[in-house]
Amino acid sequence: MKIIVLKFGGTSVGTLSKITKVAKVIASYAKKKYKVIVVSSAMSGVTNQLLLKTKKISQNFPNEEKDVILSTGEQISCALIAGKLNLLGYKSRSWLGWQLPIITRGKYSSSRIIKIQKTKIIKYLKSGGIPIVTGFQGINSDFRITTLERGGSDTSAILCAKFFNAKKCIIYTDVEGVYTTDPNLTKSAKKINKISYEEMLEMASLGAKVMQPASIQEARLNRIEIDVKSTFSKKSGTTITKKRNITGKNIIRGISFTKNDAKLTLLGVKDKPGIAASIFKPLYENSINVDMVVQNISAGSKETDLTFTIKLEDLYKTRKLLENNKSINFRKLIVNKNVSKVSIVGVGMITTPGVSYRMFRALAKKKINIEVISTSEIKISVLINKKNLKKSVEILHQEFKLSSSL
């Protein structure tokens, strides 16, 4: 059976007229004799509206019931799509998480799919039906509704592709694919034709936001090739695939950046073993994500300076936690809210020396000061003053020739 999985994101099904468009896209694959499995998100904004209801009752609204509420978003969008396909003359129906079932494990509101029962869907496909499966949800061993992490519909789609052994998984969204950098920042941004899972992971977690990072990780583990493309355009999108399928001469594939970071520096921290752990433990316990970390080890001195970055939204809480932390001792806390992180990403840099040098030189030429540096195998990130963000991205885009064919 030539199965294809099509996933539609919230903006793709955001209005009733868009649902009609989605139904037509689905129909075009059904006509090509594919067996189509559709996975849909909730209509855009709906999940947040539902979440707001629970928050208005309490910020501590129990997750068990929150999941029951949030899951209605996909229930509605899937039924609307199936209904529209019926009206267009296709056999189609909504399949809710519990109807297959999609089996999950873990905590409510952040469950993981461990299995998708195939029998009923395979039977339905064989009968000529187009199943519209609810993303973002499943049931657990208590027969209760669970939801995945936010954006989990991508993962639902990838795992449908895995369990049904699909030939292809196409993620339909509101952008035409993955870009070398944010097209809203610079016109020189270019659509990438092919990108590796690893690069995409670095791009996604750094803010490219086309797909949920966990879903890309699932695709990577299961070697599922993904096409990302726009619901509203006929243009080809971006293929996310294995490293060895990536050709082309470019070392760097994309430049991502953050806009809402804050840099904190603790001056004159009394240095002793385990001091970093003492500083970061309360942050970890409060789910505050620490990103870049630099510690100046001052030889001979009993004091050290520690710099790290967090999301701007966590600043207030972080400050309180640091100031109330009795187990550490520091002279001064300096906060800088005007920072951005710019990262260059590419599997090519592993085998190509001098990439970081080229990055630093390009920035230095334009007198852009680098405040913090961090690197991984396929990524180099620098922290700069926010006012230099656009200029930096453009310089690096040019330096690594990202406007040329990808």
Closer residue to its own copies, CB minimum distance, 82 or 219: 82
Decide if residue 20 touches its own copies (CB under 8 A). yes
Query: Regarding beta strands 3-8 and 332-345, do their DSSP bridges make them parallel or antiparallel, or are they unpaired?
Result: unpaired
Residue with tokens 């082309």: 248
Closer residue to its own copies, CB minimum distance, 19 or 178: 19
Size of the site for its own copies (CB under 8 A): 37
Options 83, 106, 183, 207; binder of its own copies; rule CB under 8 A: 83
Decide if residue 150 touches its own copies (CB under 8 A). no
Cα distance between residue 311 and residue 262, in whole Å: 6
Please state the closest distance from residue 22 (CB atom) to its own copies, in A: 12
The span of 1-9, 27-35, 81-89, 202-210 binding its own copies (CB under 8 A) equals 81-89
Options 29, 51, 86, 110; binder of its own copies; rule CB under 8 A: 86
Please state the closest distance from residue 176 (CB atom) to its own copies, in A: 27
Instruction: Please give the C-alpha separations between residue 103 and each of 56, 218, 241, 300, in angstroms, as whole numbers.
Output: 30, 16, 27, 58
Decide if residue 293 touches its own copies (CB under 8 A). no
Cα distance between residue 43 and residue 22, in whole Å: 12
> Which among 169, 99, 108, 109 has a CA at the least distance from the CA of 134?
99
Decide if residue 48 touches its own copies (CB under 8 A). no
Decide if residue 141 touches its own copies (CB under 8 A). no
Where do the H-state alpha helices sit in 262-339?
275-285, 315-323
Options 27, 39, 78, 121; binder of its own copies; rule CB under 8 A: 78
Decide if residue 53 touches its own copies (CB under 8 A). yes
Cα distance between residue 312 and residue 262, in whole Å: 5
Residue with tokens 């656009």: 390
Closer residue to its own copies, CB minimum distance, 132 or 264: 132
Options 58, 141, 247, 405; binder of its own copies; rule CB under 8 A: 58
Options 112, 118, 144, 390; binder of its own copies; rule CB under 8 A: 144
Cα distance between residue 30 and residue 36, in whole Å: 6
Would you state the structure tokens that stand for residue 66, as one six-digit string?
């929150």
Are 208 and 151 spatial neighbours (Cβ–Cβ below 8 Å)?
Answer: no
Decide if residue 109 touches its own copies (CB under 8 A). no
Closer residue to its own copies, CB minimum distance, 121 or 345: 121
Decide if residue 60 touches its own copies (CB under 8 A). yes
Q: Is 95 left (phi over 0), alpha (psi -120 to 50) or beta?
A: beta
**Residue 385 CB: number of other CB atoms within 10 A?**
15
Element (H, E) at 63: helix 63-70
Task: Tell me the backbone φ, ψ of residue 318, rounded to 5 degrees.
Answer: -60, -45
E strand intervals along 52-124:
92-95, 102-105, 112-116
Decide if residue 96 touches its own copies (CB under 8 A). yes
Options 29, 51, 68, 278; binder of its own copies; rule CB under 8 A: 68
Q: Looking only at residues 332 through 361 of this chain, which bind its own copies when binding is defined by CB under 8 A?
A: none
E strand intervals along 124-193:
130-134, 137-139, 145-147, 168-173
Cα three-residue angle 33-37-41, rounded to 5 degrees: 140
The span of 91-99, 203-211, 228-236, 390-398 binding its own copies (CB under 8 A) equals 91-99
Closer residue to its own copies, CB minimum distance, 68 or 122: 68
Closer residue to its own copies, CB minimum distance, 20 or 48: 20
Decide if residue 249 touches its own copies (CB under 8 A). no
Cα distance between residue 295 and residue 309, in whole Å: 12
Decide if residue 143 touches its own copies (CB under 8 A). yes
Residue with tokens 């395979």: 122
Options 93, 150, 191, 391; binder of its own copies; rule CB under 8 A: 93
Give me the residues that bind its own copies (CB under 8 A), please: 16, 19-20, 50, 53-54, 56-58, 60-62, 64-66, 68-69, 71-72, 75-76, 78-80, 82-84, 86-87, 93-94, 96, 98-99, 143-145
